[in-house]
């Protein structure tokens, strides 16, 4: 994708985390926490990561997106989590662990 700027999102209800850091710093921090939690990830766009955690063999594999977005109303950036596949409880567990470990 040719997106060099984070998308602007008007609504914030699905934001786990907000930050006044630069989007590039937020992405680096997300990658640090993903690596620390043995998550695999693919950077499909500048501010969009597709993440994976768990084991397909034991049916515990969870895939999700993490995207850095602008929150113009708050003059902040936010991190959006979106489940792609896997159980919702598995997703909730890994997403909340990552959200809690982000230093934003």
pLDDT per position as a tens digit, 31-58: 999 999 999 999 999 999 999 999 888 8
In sequence order, the β-bridge partners of residue 70 are 8, 77
Domains and CATH numbers, the chain: 15-101 (3.30.310.80)
What gap in Å lies between CA 17 and CA 11, rounded to an integer?
13
- For residue 90, the SS3 value is helix
| pLDDT digit string, tens, across residues 19-34 | 999 999 999 999 999 9
What's the confidence (pLDDT) of residue 31?
A: 98
Q: E-assigned strands of the chain?
A: 15-19, 40-45, 48-53, 62-71, 76-85
Of the candidate ranges 7-16, 69-78, 89-98, the one whose mean pLDDT is the lowest: 7-16
Q: What is the mean pLDDT of residues 6-12?
A: 68
**Is residue 15 predicted with pLDDT exceeding 80?**
no
Confidence of residue 17 (pLDDT cuts 50, 70, 90): confident
Do residues 30 and 49 make contact, with C-beta atoms less than 8 angstroms apart? yes
CB under 8 Å to 12, separation ≥6 — which residues? Answer: 18, 71, 73, 74, 78
């Amino acid at each position: 994708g040719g997106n060099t700027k984070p998308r602007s999102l008007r609504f914030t209800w699905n934001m786990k985390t907000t930050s006044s850091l630069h989007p590039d710093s937020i992405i680096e921090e997300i990658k640090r926490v993903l690596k620390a939690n043995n998550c695999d990830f693919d950077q499909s766009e500048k501010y969009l990561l597709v993440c994976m955690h768990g084991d397909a063999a034991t049916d515990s594999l969870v895939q999700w997106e993490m995207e850095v977005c602008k929150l113009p109303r708050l003059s902040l950036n936010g991190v959006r989590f979106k489940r792609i596949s896997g159980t919702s409880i598995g997703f909730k567990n890994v997403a909340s662990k990552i959200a809690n470990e982000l230093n934003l």
